[in-house]
């Protein structure tokens, strides 16, 4: 079945992350966040993907699955630890920002950008709802096996490497 956005493309994927961040940034602007806070909120939606740099280390050294062949942009054997991803991780960041900055608008905007990022990823890749949370992925030692529960709806699934 042909999906809405056709063949997977990292550029298309990241453009959607930008598109999803813009309304949150707009609301933050209307609610008088500073330029620095707006930039931090916007960049949070991209820096969350920095965890892809750690996937190989986590799977090989922590989980001890030596056959992992993933790259920065692609998982392997279904393992995608993504330690910065998760609604629970976004909540922790939001609480920390509120605690440190005493600014609930700033904290809410960062939380919203991170959750929108997570929800988009959830809709792109085959998932199980438990994969929305870092804690449940970690409890399973990031092992694959639940992905048949929800099939991605935007890209042709045969073009995804996860």
pLDDT of amino acid 145: 62
Q: What distance in Å separates the CA atoms of residue 65 and residue 59, rounded to the nearest whole number?
A: 6
* Mean of pLDDT values over 68-89: 76
pTM of the model: 0.85
> Which pair of structure tokens corresponds to residue 121?
């990823």
Specify burial of residue 52 (Cβ count, 10 A radius: 0-12, 13-18, 19+): buried
* Mean of pLDDT values over 95-104: 96
* Mean of pLDDT values over 26-54: 91
Percent residues over pLDDT 70 in the chain:
85
SS (H, E, C) 143-155: CCCCHHHECCCCC
Q: What distance in Å separates the CA atoms of residue 135 and residue 142, rounded to the nearest whole number?
A: 10
């Amino acid at each position: 079945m042909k999906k809405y956005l056709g063949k997977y493309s990292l550029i298309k994927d990241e453009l959607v992350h930008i598109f999803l961040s813009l309304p949150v940034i707009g609301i933050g602007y209307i609610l008088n966040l500073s330029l620095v806070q707006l930039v931090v909120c916007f960049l949070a939606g991209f820096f969350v993907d920095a965890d892809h740099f750690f996937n190989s280390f986590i799977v090989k050294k922590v989980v001890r699955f030596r056959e992992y062949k993933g790259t920065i942009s692609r998982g392997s054997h279904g393992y995608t630890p993504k330690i910065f991803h998760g609604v629970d991780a976004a909540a922790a960041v939001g609480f920390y920002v509120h605690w440190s900055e005493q600014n609930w608008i700033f904290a809410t905007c960062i939380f919203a950008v991170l959750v929108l990022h997570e929800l988009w990823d959830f809709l792109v890749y085959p998932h199980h709802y438990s994969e929305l949370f870092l804690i449940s992925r970690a409890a399973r030692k990031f092992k694959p096996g639940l992905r048949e529960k929800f099939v991605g709806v935007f890209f042709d699934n045969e073009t995804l490497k996860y």
